[in-house]
Amino acid sequence: MTQPSVTETTTIRGLRHPVSRIALGTWAIGGWMWGGPDDRQAVATIHEALDLGITLIDTAPVYGFGHSEEIVGQAVAGRRDRVAIATKVGLDWNADHKPFRNTSAARIRREIEDSLRRLRTDYIDLYQVHWPDSAIPMEETARTLEDLVREGKVLALGVSNFTIAQMEAFREFAPLSTVQPPYNLFERAMEHDILPYARQHDLAILAYGPLCRGLLSGKMTAETKFGPDDLRSADPKFQPPRFAHYLQAVRELQDFARERHGKSLLALAIRWVLDQGPTIALWGARRPDQIAAVADATGWQLSAEDRREIDAILTRCIPDPVGPEFMAPPGH
């Protein structure tokens, strides 16, 4: 029996080949803020993603403080020509593993060599500034990254968590191919500015958190608990009284997905992101079974009426929505 696969692709300016519109996100694989790593399962998850037709993997040095990149490098060894690797730059951390922003030329030069070594490759397809750094001139950051492109160590440049003004400043000194904001059914601020800007300037959007840290998987209940080392223990969405509101929305969205399209909520959440524009959905997973349903999100679309009904559910169930602001790391 043929395994279903991801067939929708898009192009990212500067990359050698089109990439799948569903990418594998590897924050959780690194273990940090997700309850610790499981390397065997992580490698199996990456292999499953590649077998399903996912051709873009997104990682970062700070995901497990190098561990996620090491696992990606291990998993794609021998398959490097089948995958585009996106990683990030510009977050440093202290001895206590407390991240802080640092996009200086010296930090970038050190990070690129560390990332190439961990990823077991001689080039990175997409290199993204993880968070904007107000303490370092944008010219220094952008020109250093453009030098890496000229040197052949990087194919294309992107930014993550940038505002329009910050992207405009970056583009004065270096070309920009992608932007990576948080985006899902529950976190939609980027629709007002980032989305139209990306359309205008031909930027691919790598939407992170399309399942809202597992909330849109449909597997959580009011009894679900999160340990102190789990990111969600600090997320306002997962605290009372808001958690109950979001879970009610999840239940109604589950019913809508099943009755209208015969799909899971998880598939609906990914499809919704893909239907919004020049988007790539970063599907985070720690185990192979968490990525197995990826093909259910491709090959169909939501109608305008579907989107209106989804919006009505959100308005009815969530009186006090919150965004992902709690995740922002401090400056220097």
| Local structure of 20: helix, strand or coil | strand
* Placement of tokens 């099943």 in the chain: 258
Contact 45, 286 (CB under 8 A): yes
What is the token pair recorded at 211? 């399942």
In the structure encoding, which two tokens stand for residue 55, read together? 């051709």
In the numeric block, the tokens 């940038």 are attached to 162
Q: Is 208 assigned a catalytic role?
A: no
**Residues 92 and 108: beta-carbon distance below 8 Å:** no
CA dist 78 to 75, 82, 108, 124, Å?
8, 9, 27, 16
Q: Which of 286, 283, 284 lies closest to 273 in space, CA to CA?
A: 283
d(CA 21, CA 54): 8
DSSP-derived secondary structure for 2-44: PPP----EE--TT-SS-EESEEEE-HHHH-TTBT---HHHHHH
79 Rama sector, left if φ>0, alpha if ψ -120 to 50, beta otherwise: alpha
Q: Is residue 6 within 8 Å of residue 54, measured between CB atoms? A: yes
The residue whose two tokens read 């292999």 is 47
Catalytic one among 63, 127, 183, 246?
63
Q: Give the CA distances from residue 244 to residues 247, 285, 320, in Å, rounded to whole numbers and listed in that order.
A: 5, 24, 11
Residues whose CB falls within 8 Å of the CB of residue 184, separated by 6 or more in sequence, listed in order: 207, 209, 210, 211, 212, 216, 269, 273
**Active-site residue numbers?**
63
